[in-house]
């Protein structure tokens, strides 16, 4: 997929990585890397000139909100920020009505929702592309940036060993889908009761995904090329905080864990980090951490998504 050529993604929604073909997934990584190189070399393409993205947030965000906004601006477009406080969807008016208003004004909608069903309802009614900016089920845009980071760090993805330690929640579910597209061997270490979504796992295994669930996090980290974690208490789970801190005892990643990784092994986190819970601060600021490369790549991954879904590119 050439970033300057129209692809099969034009006009589509991006609700999960499972909704992409493996070719489309790799094409987005290629596009993101190409756009990043171009930007750093001073290329300033106006690929989204006169296009507008509506950004709906039911929850907080630093990285996703900023980088989609900056991506639109750097590509010559514009974004409109709509928090749930402003629009009151599902309360002040229906999601269907919101969709049928927005589609008359903007070329794309990205939304961060609690329930994934809210996103699918929005996508069902809006006739412009809808992008998942994090739901309770998945975080596809995060994994695009993460896999760009793995490409930059290791070159080839096939056969890499990635271990995810922590909650089998949204980020973990997208890991399963990304690893399946990329031929990455994924081990997930989570306590019983915190497994990833069963349907996501089953679909990945049907597609040849190599995913193992392990209960011993230190054993799971042995020989990993990348050790990845996410918060134990995701947004919306605050009431379960104490129970979760107990369930995840022994899952706090510190630099001592890094000795067990493969010699080239790196530490990854999608951020925000809750220090003293899923990891220590010195793990994030360790020389083997690529955490801020991941954050940087959110910008370029989102440019790739926006260009492939929204831009008017030549067909060949
Ligand atoms: N990783 C991530 O999505 O960060 P934000 O919640 O700050 O957007
Ligand atoms: N699992 C976390 C990811 C934040 C980017 C959450 O849902 O809060």
pLDDT, residue 314, reads: 87
Maximum Cα–Cα distance across the chain: 56
Whether 279 shows a pLDDT value over 60: the answer reads yes
pLDDT at 90: 87
Mean pLDDT of the 56-79 span: 98
Q: What is the DSSP letter of 215?
A: S
Q: What angle do CA 38, 44, 144 make, to 5 degrees?
A: 50
pLDDT at 315: 84
79 has which bridge partners?
Answer: 53
- 195 pLDDT more than 90: yes
- The Cα 178–Cα 24 span in angstroms is 12
Question: pLDDT category, 3, cuts 50, 70, 90?
Answer: low
**Index of the ligand 2 atom closest to the CA of residue 64:** 5
Q: Coil, strand, or helix at residue 15?
A: coil
In this structure, the residues whose C-beta lies within 6 A of any atom of ligand 2 are: 134, 169-171, 230-231, 234-235, 270
State the average pLDDT over residues 256-273.
Answer: 98
| Closest C-alpha to 10, from 29, 27, 33 | 27
Tell me what the mean pLDDT of segment 193-212 comes to: 98
Q: Which two tokens stand for residue 297?
A: 């790549």
* Closest listed residue to residue 152, CA positions, set 260, 262, 34, 62: 34
Domains of the chain: 17-138+298-310 (3.40.50.1370), 142-295 (3.40.50.1370)
Nearest to 189, CA basis, from 123, 257, 286, 105? 257
Atom number of ligand 1 nearest to Cα 235: 6
Which of the two residues, 41 and 5, has the higher pLDDT score?
41
Q: What is the pLDDT of residues 92-121, one digit of tens each?
A: 999 999 999 999 999 999 999 999 999 999
270 lines ligand 1 (CB under 6 A): yes
């Amino acid at each position: 997929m050439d970033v300057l050529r129209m692809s099969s993604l034009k006009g589509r929604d991006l609700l999960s990585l499972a909704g992409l073909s493996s070719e489309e997934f790799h094409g987005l990584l290629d596009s993101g890397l190409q756009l990043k190189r171009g930007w750093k070399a001073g290329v300033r393409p106006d690929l989204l000139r006169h296009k507008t993205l509506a950004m709906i947030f039911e929850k907080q965000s630093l990285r996703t909100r900023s980088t989609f906004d900056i991506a639109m601006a750097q590509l010559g477009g514009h974004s409109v920020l709509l928090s749930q406080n402003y629009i009151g969807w599902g309360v002040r008016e229906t999601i269907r009505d919101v969709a049928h208003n927005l589609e008359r004004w903007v070329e794309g909608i990205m939304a961060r929702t609690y329930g994934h069903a809210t996103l699918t309802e929005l996508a069902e009614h809006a006739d412009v592309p809808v992008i998942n900016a994090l739901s309770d089920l998945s975080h596809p845009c995060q994994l695009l940036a993460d896999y760009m980071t793995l490409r930059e760090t290791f070159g080839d993805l096939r056969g890499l060993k990635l271990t995810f330690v922590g909650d089998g929640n949204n980020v973990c579910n997208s890991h399963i889908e990304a690893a399946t597209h990329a031929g990455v061997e994924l081990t997930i270490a989570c306590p019983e009761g915190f497994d990833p979504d069963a349907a996501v796992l089953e679909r990945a295994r049907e597609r040849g995904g190599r995913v193992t669930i392990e209960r011993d996090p230190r054993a799971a980290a042995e020989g990993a090329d990348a050790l990845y974690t996410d918060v134990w208490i995701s947004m919306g789970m605050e009431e379960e905080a104490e129970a979760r801190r107990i369930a995840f005892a022994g899952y706090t990643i510190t630099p001592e864990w890094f000795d067990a990784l493969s010699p080239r092994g790196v530490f990854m986190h999608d951020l925000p980090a809750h220090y003293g819970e899923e990891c220590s601060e010195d793990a994030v600021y360790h020389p083997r951490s690529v955490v801020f490369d991941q954050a940087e790549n959110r910008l370029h991954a989102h440019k790739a998504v926006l260009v492939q879904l929204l831009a008017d590119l030549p067909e060949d």
